[in-house]
Amino acid sequence: MTQSTTEPTTPSKYNQAVELIDTANQQDPNQESDGDKNQPKELLYGHRMADMLERFAPDTDDVMKLAIRAQHIQRWKSPRDAYSMDRKGYHQWRTGLYKFHADTAAELLLKSGYSEDEVERARQAIGKKSLKTNTDTQLVEDVAALVFIEYYMTDFVNRHPEYDEDKWIDIILRTWKKMSQKGQQFALSGAVKLPEPLVPLITRAIS
């Protein structure tokens, strides 16, 4: 009797890309707690982005799911203090980051078997190209803003005690204006956990 053999299952290109992105972010030397345990900071961020996307736009296609998961890929490799600590240096850092993230993610998607057109689409979205006119870029911006509000806004406030109320209103408004109407409505729908101490300030800013 001949014993049948089963071919090993080849992971889909989507699953392979997810694994490559998570493996890249697993290398982050910076740790952050998710409430239960410490994890590499950008790995946790990528998972939070993916989770928020499932809540906000669950029918999103695989290319954009990967772009959103990879939005901060290996961010620690381009530290803020590598640039001058002024407004000009900040903008240079941000511009460099967008390109670094886009190029790094694109390389992993190509390695996973995605086409040049699919990879370029992800590259444009991660690189924040044509915000407000490119729906992919706008989706990345919406999800990033929602993740910031739910998970990072309180810590950001605590790290800047020197900012007065007017400064915070300006920061909140700038974040709000980057979002689509759909993103704004989702943020206020109860589906996103707003930082409770900041709710009065958020309400004042957006009104």
Are the C-beta atoms of residues 40 and 26 closer than 8 Å to each other?
A: yes
- Say if 5 falls within a structural domain: no
Retrieve residue 11's tokens.
Answer: 């992971």
Per residue in 110-137, pLDDT (tens digit) is 999 999 999 999 999 999 998 878 999 9
- Say if 6 falls within a structural domain: no
For residues 87-111, give the mean pLDDT: 94
Output the CA–CA distances (angstroms, integers) from residue 8 to 11, 18, 36, 184, in the order listed: 9, 19, 35, 45
Q: What is the pTM of this model?
A: 0.89
For residues 138-144, give the mean pLDDT: 96
Number of domains comprising the chain: 1
- Say if 191 falls within a structural domain: yes
State the pLDDT at residue 17: 98
Number of separate helices (H) and strands (E) present in the chain: 10, 2
- Say if 7 falls within a structural domain: no
- Say if 70 falls within a structural domain: yes
CA distance 106 to 43: 18
- The one-letter code for the residue type at 152 is Y
Band the pLDDT of 9: cuts 50, 70, 90: low
Could you tell me the residue range of the domain that residue 147 belongs to? 13-206
DSSP H/E element including 38: strand 38-40
Between 162 and 66, the more confident residue is: 66
- Say if 30 falls within a structural domain: yes
For residues 61-70, give the mean pLDDT: 98
State the pLDDT at residue 10: 62
- Say if 4 falls within a structural domain: no
State the pLDDT at residue 2: 46
For residues 12-34, give the mean pLDDT: 96
Q: Is the pLDDT of residue 101 over 70?
A: yes
The candidate with the shortest Cα–Cα distance to 73, out of 98, 110, 54, 38, is 98
CA distance 100 to 94: 10
The candidate with the shortest Cα–Cα distance to 43, out of 64, 28, 63, is 28
Per residue in 147-189, pLDDT (tens digit) is 999 999 888 877 878 888 888 888 888 889 999 999 999 999 9
Q: Is the pLDDT of residue 88 over 90?
A: yes
Q: Is the pLDDT of residue 3 over 80?
A: no
Retrieve residue 33's tokens.
Answer: 């707690």
Are the C-beta atoms of residues 73 and 49 closer than 8 Å to each other?
A: no
Identify the bridge partners of residue 32 per DSSP, sorted by sequence position. 39
